[in-house]
Copies of this chain bind each other. A is one copy, B any other.
């Protein structure tokens, strides 16, 4: 709590990289007998400021008792911290107590239920972006904003502040389209169909996606089966100019980096509020340079959004924030009662997508239908397309093979994968325990089975659905097949099914809930 600043201590410690990867947390290592450590009254896990000639970073302090790790005249830093400092080893460094970030005062005001201003949200995101927040301070921010809730103006402020912390792509066009699903539905790989359809029409759709965090596959993981997805920003620009679209991983572009930092705390805490979802998605899309955005909100008993009233609230919030930020934003509320397509896991999902593009007779009809509806709505962002005509245009592009052609061009542009990707060598069928009709499929449990089996790390692992909602089944008939690469994962997936059940509910045809959604 002392207010010492870097100007008070001389630069006396020689910088040294310690070969430890501490992920998104900077760690500094000082020897217990280091004179600066003793004089400053530091304590392990204090937050310290490390500086030299105007460069500074913040780090958590660990105390070292072995001179082989860090000498008494040295300042060790973890790999991430060393990269951020970007200074040569042996540079003389200063260390000082880091003051708690000033914007924590705003977080405490939020804890007390008060309303924060645009400037306060800017202060918070700036401090998070410069690593001034510890994980526990971020948790305090997330719980405080999640609990008393943010009003819609505050969600707008937070979105804007998050966008401002990183780079912003500029495509120099009037209409830059994108689509985004809020997640939670396995197999829902519509982007890989919407992008080639829309790009084939000539509309710009530079799609950047994330990898899976808690799901068995993200769009980036699945696309990586077919093409390289890690492109530098300049290559991405060239590619998009030439082909009007791409399907790349967004991690290289430093878009709304505060979003990634907050996600690394939200996920393990299981915090997932509407406010944070809207700010997270819209800040990323804005930073990616989108001007027109279609949001897909699936609703179902095991989807992220379980009731229509909740979906409508979320839609209003997306619309409010999107409008204020100058985005042309449309929301589609879709059927989230079961996985989309047949495959769950990178290779299985890539196969579904390619079958739809190739107009293969086995192509999953639900994936095709959903992708066409979404693509149709995106196409209608084009002022020259009459409302209601988008679907037919999208279908023509797909049926004529122009979408497949475009996909092949994008794959070639990004760099086609030469590795042969195969399904996991271990597989087992799971069978119906009774005869009847499939009336329920648990999205959450099937995702988990696919993850435990090894997806997305093991690309050929996952679940292949053989039956979908409404299908009749005989007793003992296979309902899905589990694939794995390694015996331990395989055994574990089977154990999970034995303990928790298959995730399928078999009943009578009239028990099947009727969806009042567009599809």
Interface residues of A (CB under 8 A from B): 1-4, 8-9, 18-25, 27, 29, 32, 39, 41, 43-45, 47, 62-66, 68-69, 78-79, 100, 104, 108, 111-113, 134-140, 142-144, 146-148, 214, 264-265, 268-271, 448, 451-452, 457, 486, 488, 491-492, 496
Point out the residue from B2, B143, B214 that lies within 8 Å of A139, measured CB to CB.
Answer: B143
Q: A19-B69, A147-B113 are in contact. Are A269 and B63 (CB under 8 A)?
A: no
Q: Looking at A21, A47, A214, A492, which has the most chain B CB atoms within 10 Å of its CB?
A: A21
Whether A268 contacts B3 by the Cβ 8 Å rule is no
CA distance A137 to B102 in the complex (A): 22
Smallest CB gap from A486: residue in B: B39
Contacts of A100 in B (CB 8 A): 268, 270
Given A2-B492, A9-B488, A25-B45, 6 more pairs with CB closer than 8 A = A2-B452, A8-B491, A19-B65, A62-B78, A69-B69, A134-B268
Contacts of A65 in B (CB 8 A): 19-21, 79
6 A-B residue pairs with Cβ-Cβ distance under 8 Å, sorted by A, are A19-B65, A21-B44, A23-B63, A68-B68, A113-B147, A136-B139
Q: Looking at A66, A143, A486, A491, which has the most chain B CB atoms within 10 Å of its CB?
A: A143
Contacts of A63 in B (CB 8 A): 20-21, 23
Whether B146 contacts A64 by the Cβ 8 Å rule is no
CA distance A239 to B446 in the complex (A): 63
Q: Looking at A79, A136, A457, which has the most chain B CB atoms within 10 Å of its CB?
A: A136
Whether A20 contacts B265 by the Cβ 8 Å rule is no
Contacts of A148 in B (CB 8 A): 147
Smallest CB gap from A148: residue in B: B147
Whether A146 contacts B1 by the Cβ 8 Å rule is no
Stoichiometry, as copies per complex, reads 2
Whether A146 contacts B111 by the Cβ 8 Å rule is yes
Whether A492 contacts B4 by the Cβ 8 Å rule is yes
CA distance A143 to B141 in the complex (A): 9
Point out the residue from B3, B20, B496 that lies within 8 Å of A29, measured CB to CB.
Answer: B20
Contacts of A452 in B (CB 8 A): 2-4
Whether B492 contacts A21 by the Cβ 8 Å rule is no
CB distance from A118 to the nearest CB of B (A): 23
CA distance A448 to B269 in the complex (A): 35
Contacts of A268 in B (CB 8 A): 47, 100, 134, 136-137
CB distance from A158 to the nearest CB of B (A): 17
Whether B62 contacts A21 by the Cβ 8 Å rule is yes
CB distance from A497 to the nearest CB of B (A): 12
Whether B134 contacts A64 by the Cβ 8 Å rule is no
Q: Looking at A24, A62, A69, A100, which has the most chain B CB atoms within 10 Å of its CB?
A: A62
Contacts of A32 in B (CB 8 A): 21
Q: Looking at A32, A139, A148, A486, which has the most chain B CB atoms within 10 Å of its CB?
A: A139
Contacts of A19 in B (CB 8 A): 64-66, 69
Contacts of A112 in B (CB 8 A): 147
CB distance from A489 to the nearest CB of B (A): 8
CA distance A108 to B20 in the complex (A): 33
Q: A140-B143, A144-B143, A144-B147 are in contact. Are A451 and B1 (CB under 8 A)?
A: yes
CA distance A214 to B1 in the complex (A): 7
Q: Looking at A22, A25, A32, A448, which has the most chain B CB atoms within 10 Å of its CB?
A: A22
CB distance from A495 to the nearest CB of B (A): 9
CB distance from A476 to the nearest CB of B (A): 27
Contacts of A45 in B (CB 8 A): 22-25, 264
Contacts of A143 in B (CB 8 A): 111, 139-140, 143-144, 147
CB distance from A161 to the nearest CB of B (A): 20
CA distance A65 to B271 in the complex (A): 32
Contacts of A491 in B (CB 8 A): 8
Point out the residue from B20, B39, B113, B136 that lies within 8 Å of A64, measured CB to CB.
Answer: B20
CA distance A309 to B350 in the complex (A): 66
CA distance A45 to B143 in the complex (A): 20
Whether A62 contacts B20 by the Cβ 8 Å rule is yes
CB distance from A134 to the nearest CB of B (A): 7
CB distance from A395 to the nearest CB of B (A): 38
Smallest CB gap from A31: residue in B: B19
Contacts of A25 in B (CB 8 A): 45
CB distance from A169 to the nearest CB of B (A): 27
Contacts of A496 in B (CB 8 A): 3
Contacts of A23 in B (CB 8 A): 43-45, 63
CA distance A356 to B113 in the complex (A): 46
Contacts of A24 in B (CB 8 A): 45
CB distance from A456 to the nearest CB of B (A): 9
Whether B269 contacts A64 by the Cβ 8 Å rule is no
Contacts of A486 in B (CB 8 A): 39
CA distance A146 to B43 in the complex (A): 26
Contacts of A111 in B (CB 8 A): 143, 146-147, 271
